[in-house]
Amino acid sequence: MEKTRIVQLRKIIKEKKIHTLFQPIVSLKDQKLLGYEALSRGPEGMALEKPALLFETANASSMTLKLENLCHRQAIKSAQRLPKGLKLFLNIETPVLDSRLYQRLDYLRESALRPEDIVLEITERSAIKDIKDFKKNMALFRRKGFHFALDDTGTGYNNIKVFWELKPEYLKLPAFLMRNIERDPLKEKFIRVLVDCAKGAKAKTIAEAVERRIELKVLCRLGVDFGQGYLFARPGKPFPKPRKIR
């Protein structure tokens, strides 16, 4: 099965069969738009349509850089009409940021988007092999205008130490913390710790997978800055308009 998926992935990359959906990120204070996260998907109906399996296959076959490069190109191509002032969040695996090929930024040369419009969202799937070198590469991108987010903080390889070392502009709270949050005081305490850490580092917090009004209410009380999830809008083609939650 794995060999079949590797063959399928090679074909997907060769034929550029990646499409992008977008999900809005909104302020929890006034529900104004911050921007959109670009969500890459494989061909519809295939197992590799699911991003987790898509990138798992890429990581297992040393095709992460090729896949990530294609995903970013397709996302940026689809986001050409991103309203001025909004941010485009692009997921990025840690080895990709270290790549000299990726650092050329040729995927932006024919784009209306500028580096300052883009937030590179570091995923939790890969470990950072050399934190000093990684921070140097982050500084290179920051000088060009990019901002950074840390995805699923507290899970996978994105622990609190990584957050404190990298000091991204945005800290994303993992989805599991949202489930039954109104009945789990320990989750509330953990979120409060993350919010306090973010404030100490002058970063903004973003709650993922917000699906219910009660979750929104609790997150507002805890001081979380932004949110995304089905409560506001499902992922869709450019650009889903978030519903206002009363």
pTM of this prediction? 0.94
pLDDT, average across residues 83-109: 85
The residue that leads in pLDDT, 183 or 164, is 183
Cβ partners under 8 Å of residue 17, min gap 6: 11, 42, 43
Residue 161 belongs to a domain: yes
Highest mean pLDDT among 14-18, 99-103, 111-115, 129-133: 14-18
Q: Name the residue among 159, 134, 129 with its Cα closest to residue 148.
A: 134
Read off the pLDDT of residues 29-53 as tens digits, 9 standing for 90 and up: 999 999 999 999 999 999 999 999 9
* 3-state DSSP percent of the chain in helix, strand and coil, to 5: 45, 20, 35
Residue 46 belongs to a domain: no
125: which DSSP letter? Answer: S
Residue 58 belongs to a domain: no
Q: Name the residue among 149, 202, 127, 144 with its Cα closest to residue 34.
A: 149
Residue 233 belongs to a domain: no
Residue 210 belongs to a domain: yes
For residue 122, give its domain range.
22-38+73-227
CATH assignment of the domain containing 191: 3.20.20.450
Q: In which element (H, E) is residue 118 found?
A: strand 118-122
For 216: left if phi > 0, alpha if psi spans -120 to 50, otherwise beta; the answer is alpha
Q: Name the residue among 74, 73, 90 with its Cα closest to residue 38.
A: 90
pLDDT value, residue 101: 65
Residue 71 pLDDT > 60: yes
Q: Name the residue among 111, 115, 127 with its Cα closest to residue 90.
A: 115
Residue 56 belongs to a domain: no
For 39: left if phi > 0, alpha if psi spans -120 to 50, otherwise beta; the answer is beta
Residue 4 belongs to a domain: no
**Contact (CB, 8 A) for 163 and 153:** yes
Q: What is the rounded average pLDDT for all residues in the chain?
A: 91
Q: How many helices and strands, by DSSP H and E, does the chain display? A: 9, 8
pLDDT, average across residues 142-159: 79
Residue 237 pLDDT > 90: yes
pLDDT value, residue 93: 86
pLDDT value, residue 153: 65
The number of domains in the chain is 1
Residue 97 belongs to a domain: yes
